[in-house]
């Protein structure tokens, strides 16, 4: 990124209200704590607790589905109760889940319960957090704000993974206790420091129930492509750790996750305005083939293919997730929590399918020509999805996309009304 572009991005961030800057900081701290645990779940469940990969894959799929699909319920709660109360409740539940991890470190039933409870906490927090953010800025600034938020998330993921990679196999109890304390502190900070939201959308004021919102949220390109995105991407998220640590150390797995996070952190913000402007079909034709190329690289033995595959997958991830989110917000104007929740529901459905299919495909590939065969299966599916998703995105454009209701079109954005 050029110095000028970096200065422009930094200037936009520093001009944000203090409330939004606070939430960006928590967007770093949340994954910092979570990713001291979550990337190593498959390893802990499989190697420490002795669970077979089939049940592990199913649990990971169910967990991802709950974490993302359940967020739609969290979005409806946020619209009724307000973002602050939803976030505080979600953090409280998540704190309890991580504390249960420490208590159930040698107990499969307690560990499984802890996994599900932490996912439940996220269903309440995530949609409220993003709804609060996007409701406080104009549409023009949403791509940059969301990309900076994503960068904060990815930075936390990278650092959490690095710290935990050095400790999780030797001192797992210490890791779980530290994470539980971190989330307890964040809960208190949200309760005491987060001011009352400035907008009705974030405050939880009753909204007009527009029946068309449900169709625009679930039966249009953003939801369908988000489902396909999660299905393909979660092969990488769920199974890279088990695949890499079979023949390499956890250090390589940590390095791959850090590389993935750094690329998103450095690459997405300067590309955010372009991602916001580019046609949906064009974004799809760039991103899904990038995922396929990454899977093909992972199918080859050695350290370099793992890193090269991670680079390609990071490109696809950086484009798709932001573009899907922006299109979802356009599809349901004036209801950011509803839009975010519906997007997470689609991601949850895709992650569930990925967990179920991935566990079986991984077992089949590992028992056949080797674990690398699994990534060939994933690459073939990514290429097939490219064709289907591009057709869906083009169909949306040919129909002109959703129209902004007149009552919403006349409503000024919060950022403009304060300027």
Q: Write out pLDDT tens, residues 103-155.
A: 877 788 888 888 889 888 988 898 888 888 887 777 777 888 888 888 888 78
Burial of 296 (0-12, 13-18, 19+ CB in 10 A): buried
Q: What is the pLDDT of residue 210?
A: 54
Q: What is the pLDDT of residue 397?
A: 56
Q: Say if 267 falls within a structural domain.
A: yes
Q: Say if 4 falls within a structural domain.
A: no
| 315/52 Cα distance (integer angstroms) | 32
Q: What is the pLDDT of residue 219?
A: 63
Residue 352 contacts residue 340 (beta carbons within 8 Å): no
Sequence length of the chain is: 419
Q: Say if 2 falls within a structural domain.
A: no
Residue 82 contacts residue 202 (beta carbons within 8 Å): yes
| Number of domains, the chain | 1
Lookup: tokens for 222: 């953003």
Q: What is the pLDDT of residue 12?
A: 66
Question: What is the rounded (10 degree) CA torsion for 359, 301, 160, 89?
Answer: -20
Q: Say if 298 falls within a structural domain.
A: yes
CATH of the domain at 353: 1.20.1250.20
* Domain of 55, in residue numbers: 19-205+212-400
Give average pLDDT by consecutive 10-residue segment, the chain, 419 residues.
58 73 89 81 75 79 75 85 89 92 82 88 88 79 86 83 72 84 93 69 51 64 88 88 80 85 86 89 93 92 91 94 89 80 83 80 62 84 90 67 41 38
Q: Say if 230 falls within a structural domain.
A: yes
Q: Say if 221 falls within a structural domain.
A: yes
| 14/16 Cα distance (integer angstroms) | 5
Q: What is the pLDDT of residue 336?
A: 82
Residue 226 contacts residue 349 (beta carbons within 8 Å): no
Residue 317 contacts residue 292 (beta carbons within 8 Å): no
Q: Say if 416 falls within a structural domain.
A: no
At residue 106, what are phi and psi to the nearest 5 degrees?
-115, 15
Lookup: tokens for 158: 């990278």
Which CA distances in Å does 417 have to 140, 198, 414?
14, 11, 5
Residue 41 contacts residue 67 (beta carbons within 8 Å): no
Q: Which of 318, 268, 333, 272 is nearest to 134 (CA)?
A: 333
Q: Say if 159 falls within a structural domain.
A: yes
């Amino acid at each position: 990124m050029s110095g000028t572009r970096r200065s422009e991005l930094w200037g936009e961030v520093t001009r944000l209200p203090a409330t939004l800057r606070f939430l960006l900081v928590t967007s770093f701290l949340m994954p910092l704590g979570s990713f001291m645990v979550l990337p190593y779940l498959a390893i802990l469940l499989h190697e420490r607790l002795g669970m077979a990969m089939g049940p592990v894959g199913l649990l990971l799929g169910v967990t991802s589905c709950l974490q993302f699909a359940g967020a739609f319920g969290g979005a409806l709660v946020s619209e009724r109760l307000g973002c602050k109360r939803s976030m505080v409740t979600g953090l409280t539940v998540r704190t309890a889940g991580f504390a249960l991890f420490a208590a159930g470190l040698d107990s499969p039933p307690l560990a499984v319960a802890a996994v599900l409870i932490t996912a439940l906490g996220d269903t309440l927090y995530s949609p409220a957090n993003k709804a609060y953010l996007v409701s406080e800025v104009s549409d023009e600034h949403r791509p940059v704000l969301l990309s900076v938020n994503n960068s904060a998330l990815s930075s936390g993921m990278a650092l959490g993974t690095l710290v935990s990679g050095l400790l999780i196999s030797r001192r797992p109890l210490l890791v779980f206790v530290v994470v539980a304390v971190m989330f307890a502190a964040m809960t208190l900070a949200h309760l005491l420091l987060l001011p009352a939201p400035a907008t009705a959308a974030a405050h939880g004021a009753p909204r007009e129930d527009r029946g068309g919102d449900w169709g625009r949220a679930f039966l249009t390109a953003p939801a369908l492509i988000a489902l396909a995105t999660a299905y393909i991407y979660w092969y990488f998220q769920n199974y890279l750790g088990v695949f890499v640590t079979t023949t390499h150390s956890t250090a390589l797995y940590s390095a791959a996750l850090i590389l993935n996070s750094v690329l998103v952190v450095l690459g997405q913000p300067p590309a955010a305005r372009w991602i916001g402007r580019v046609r949906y079909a064009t974004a799809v034709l760039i991103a899904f083939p990038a995922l396929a190329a990454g899977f093909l690289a992972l199918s080859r033995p050695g350290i370099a293919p793992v890193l090269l595959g991670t680079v390609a997958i990071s490109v696809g991830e950086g484009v798709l997730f932001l573009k899907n989110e922006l299109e979802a917000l356009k599809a349901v104007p004036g209801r950011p929590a509803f839009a975010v929740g519906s997007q997470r529901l689609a991601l949850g459905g895709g992650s569930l399918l990925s967990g179920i299919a991935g566990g079986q495909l991984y077992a089949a590939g590992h028992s056949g020509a080797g674990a690398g065969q699994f990534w060939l299966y994933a690459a073939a599916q990514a290429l097939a999805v490219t064709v289907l998703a591009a057709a869906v995105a083009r169909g949306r454009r040919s129909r002109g996309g959703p129209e902004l209701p007149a009552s919403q079109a006349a409503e000024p954005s919060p950022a403009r009304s304060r300027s």
